A = this chain, B = another copy of it.
Amino acid sequence: MPTMSEHRVPTFESVMQAAERLRGRVHRTPVLTSAALDAAAGAKVYLKAENLQRTGSFKIRGALNAVSRLDAGQAARGVIAFSSGNHAQALALAAREAGVAATVVMPRDAPAGKMAATRSHGATVVTYDRYTDRREEITARLAAERGLVVIPPYEHADVISGQGTLAVELFGQVEALDVLLVPVGGGGLIAGCALAAASLSPTTRIIGVEPAEGNDTQLSLAAGRRMRIPVPKTIADGIATDTPGELTFEINRRLLSEVVLVSDDEIRAAMRFTLERLKTLIEPSAAAAVAAALARRGGSGGRVGVVVSGGNVDVRRLSELMVE
């Protein structure tokens, strides 16, 4: 049996192993297309609809992969994670399916629906203040006190490999993508996708999308090293990070073509477009990638893949977002 250390650095091979491991345990989510979207974006656009994934986001891929690779002792002690929401729900479900106890450290202002869903999967939720506390420290302390295995939302080889299975699927569904637009928070999703693309679709340009106020990866790529910015305030709560991960940045600096930015207003407009025209609910972080396509920020024309990372937004929040 492989140990955790075998895949300290995720590779194309570890992504393909994850794809094998997850077969039948995650949805093969559909790829949505729309003539209205193509017209607005001036390109053939393919939305990989992870908003229709189990738990409402791609995060179940990384969580299931990581939990599947725990050894018996680790599984008996339980797992812990910090997350603004989707990773929490995903880890809670992945752990429950494996009979493993899960503890999740969440910001006090996380969407109520995400918190309720996390609890409904049987996880213990511990809250913190996003602007004063450091979630990494709280998580580390609890892990040490209780002997829990930390499954972080992106800074973990098995999580990155799991997220990469999304791109493996997509390249099997749509051929010859010129561009793949991927929302970037900590960078785990795009790192996994980039590893898959480098072998399966090497001519596809992998372009990250960040909120304008949360451009830590863009700045870090320009600087050639990880930069830290003030905690960003953006409606795209799922990708509001202040610095890239170490592991993810090492991959992303090698494999990304560029990172483009979108404003909160563009994100809102993309959510609205997707809702009104495609009748599909996507969350702000996912809408960031759609917004980049609508603004043609990955270049004009061609065949554009868009990772619609999730759809977890409760209707009260949705109403607020749509009338702001």
Q: Which residues of A contact B (CB under 8 A)?
A: 51-52, 56, 113, 272, 275-276, 279-282, 311, 314-316, 318-319, 322-323
Contact = CB atoms under 8 A, between A and B. Distances in A.
A322 to B, nearest CB: 4
A269 B124 CA distance: 28
B322 A279 contact: no
A276 B316 CA distance: 10
12 contacts: A56-B279, A113-B276, A275-B281, A279-B280, A279-B281, A279-B282, A279-B311, A280-B281, A281-B281, A316-B323, A318-B318, A318-B319
If over half of A's interface residues share one DSSP class (helix, strand or loop), that class is named, otherwise mixed; here it is: helix
A160 to B, nearest CB: 25
Contacts of A311: 279
Contacts of A323: 316, 319
Contacts of A52: 279
Contacts of A276: 113, 281, 314-315
Number of copies: 2
A132 B275 CA distance: 34
Contacts of A319: 318-319, 322-323
A316 B52 CA distance: 24
A314 B322 CA distance: 10
A280 B274 CA distance: 10
Most buried by B among A51, A272, A281, A314: A281
Residue of A113, A279, A281 with highest tally of chain B CB at under 10 A:
A279
A205 to B, nearest CB: 28
Given A272-B315, A319-B319, 20 more contacts: A51-B279, A52-B279, A56-B279, A113-B276, A275-B281, A275-B315, A275-B318, A276-B281, A276-B314, A276-B315, A279-B282, A279-B311, A280-B280, A281-B281, A315-B322, A316-B322, A316-B323, A318-B319, A318-B322, A319-B323
A281 B276 CA distance: 8
Contacts of A315: 272, 275-276, 322
A118 to B, nearest CB: 15
A21 to B, nearest CB: 22
Closest 9 CB pairs of A and B: A319-B319, A279-B311, A279-B281, A315-B322, A51-B279, A319-B322, A272-B315, A319-B323, A275-B281
A311 B314 CA distance: 18
Contacts of A282: 279
Nearest to A313: B276
**Most interface-central of A51, A52, A275, A311 (chain B CB within 10 A):** A275
A281 B319 CA distance: 13
Contacts of A279: 51-52, 56, 280-282, 311
A167 B279 CA distance: 21
Of A51, A56, A282, A315, the most chain B CB neighbours within 10 A belong to A315
